[in-house]
Amino acid sequence: MRIAIFSKTFHRPTLDQVLAAIAKLGIREVHFNLACVGLEPLPAELSTAQCSEICEAFSRYGLTMCGVSGTFNAIHPDKSQRAELTRRACILIERCHEFGTNLVSLCTGTRDAENMWSDHSANQDPAAWRDLCDTLKTLLATANRHQVFLGIEPEQANVVNSAAAGRRLLDHFRSPRLKIILDAANLMHVDNLPQMRIVLDEAFDLLGPDIIMAHAKEFIGESNGPCAPGNGPLDWGYYLMKLRESGFRGPLVLHNLGEASVTDGISLLESHLANKRDISCEAAATN
């Protein structure tokens, strides 16, 4: 596994300053968001020159783009808005190789029209599932043509709200281009915290071979604001052990933490990754 980070963790006036701050920490992989160059995350148009400038900036700092954010509300209740955002996501998919990556991250969506990370009572209706599949059918057609992977993330407030729902979606499409971004924190809620290891076991049993990226984000429950790994209840030793046992060797992306906490987050991950034998023994002993 390789420690990576979200580019939006760093707030700087220019992309060069963002990438310089990341490189200074010794991180070499970045999950990118076009907001870091003053664009909308899904711009209406993208030029070859804009893509080249971004790619060249990454090269200057010896960094690799492990993915680019293409998140939008895939089941937005406004059909015209959903269609426009799908069109824009297809542009990003078409262009992402020009940035130097082959992965676009997505959101499976919510019926909440204002916030794509907010739950809604209609998210589990059959119509919501159909709309998600219609959106993904379009995106996957573009991804297939351009040899790009699409990463979806089980998220409590979205249509795909569990590992089981993620497995259902993968089985529906059976596409080698559709993959899983696994975030242990997003599988948890206050009620299932005592069963954390059971929840993680199920997630890896169902999704392990299809994980293309993992998030290193702390569980924050009902609280607001960022939280550094290790400052919450997530069982990092067990989570990282399960990632390793699944055969995952990709980017482990620090996410949802303040810039001041990044160094501590890196240290926690490095400590666990360096002590893989201890992690396995400790986890086995407490099961």
Render pLDDT for 69-78 as a digit per residue (tens, 0 to 9): 999 999 999 9
What is the pLDDT averaged over residues 23-29? 97
Q: With contact defined as beta carbons under 8 Å apart, do 55 and 100 qualify? A: yes
pTM of this prediction exceeds 0.85: yes
User: Phi and psi of 67, rounded to 5°?
Assistant: 180, 165
Closest CA to 37 of 67, 66, 8: 8
- Residues with Cβ < 8 Å from 136, sequence gap 6 or more? 74, 106, 150, 152, 169, 173, 178
Strand partners, 30: 5, 65
The architecture in CATH of the region 2-286 reads: Alpha-Beta Barrel (3.20)
Asked if 150 and 178 touch (Cβ cutoff 8 Å), the reply is yes
- pLDDT of 287 > 70? The answer is no
User: How many helices (H) and strands (E) are present in the chain, helices listed first?
Assistant: 9, 8
Cα 185 to Cα 200: distance, rounded to the nearest angstrom: 10
pLDDT of 216 reads 97
In this prediction, residue 195 carries a pLDDT of: 96
Length of the chain: 287
Return the pLDDT at 222.
66
Amino acid identity at 189: H
Q: Where are the domains of the chain?
A: 2-286
* Distance, CA of 73 to CA of 111 (rounded, Å): 8
Question: pLDDT value at position 226?
Answer: 79
Contact 229, 266 (CB under 8 A): no
What pLDDT is attached to residue 223? 62
Model confidence at 281: pLDDT above 60: no
CA distances from 115 to 70, 75, 98, 240, 257 (A): 15, 12, 30, 30, 20
Compute the chain's Rg from CA coordinates: 18
Q: In terms of Cα–Cα distance, which of 185, 237, 178, 176 is closest to 214?
A: 185
In this predicted structure, the answer to whether residue 23 has a pLDDT above a threshold of 90 is: yes
Give the Cα separation of 265 and 90 in Å (integer).
34
What pLDDT is recorded for position 220?
A: 84
The pair of structure tokens assigned to 122 is 């209609």
Q: In terms of Cα–Cα distance, which of 149, 118, 133 is closest to 82?
A: 133
Summarised one tens digit per residue, pLDDT across range 150-187 is: 999 999 999 999 999 999 999 999 999 999 999 999 99
Start-end of H helices in 123-235: 126-146, 163-173, 196-207
User: From CA 163, how far away is CA 153, in angstroms rounded?
Assistant: 9
Percent composition of the chain: helix, strand, coil (DSSP 3-state, to 5): 50, 15, 35
The Cα–Cα gap between 105 and 262 comes to: 22
Q: How far apart are CA 181 and CA 263, in angstroms?
A: 23
Compute the average pLDDT of residues 99-120: 95
Choose the weakest-confidence range: 20-34, 98-112, 265-279: 265-279
Amino acid at 58: F
Q: Is the pLDDT of residue 272 over 50?
A: yes
- Contact of 258 with 228, CB cutoff 8 Å: yes
Range scoring the smallest mean pLDDT among 32-46, 75-89, 118-132, 213-227: 213-227
Percentage of residues of the chain with pLDDT beyond 90: 89
Give me the pLDDT at residue 221, please. 76
pLDDT at 209: 96
Q: What percent of the chain has pLDDT over 70?
A: 94
Mean pLDDT across 235-254: 96
pLDDT tens per residue across span 183-229: 999 999 989 999 999 999 999 999 999 999 999 999 987 666 678 89
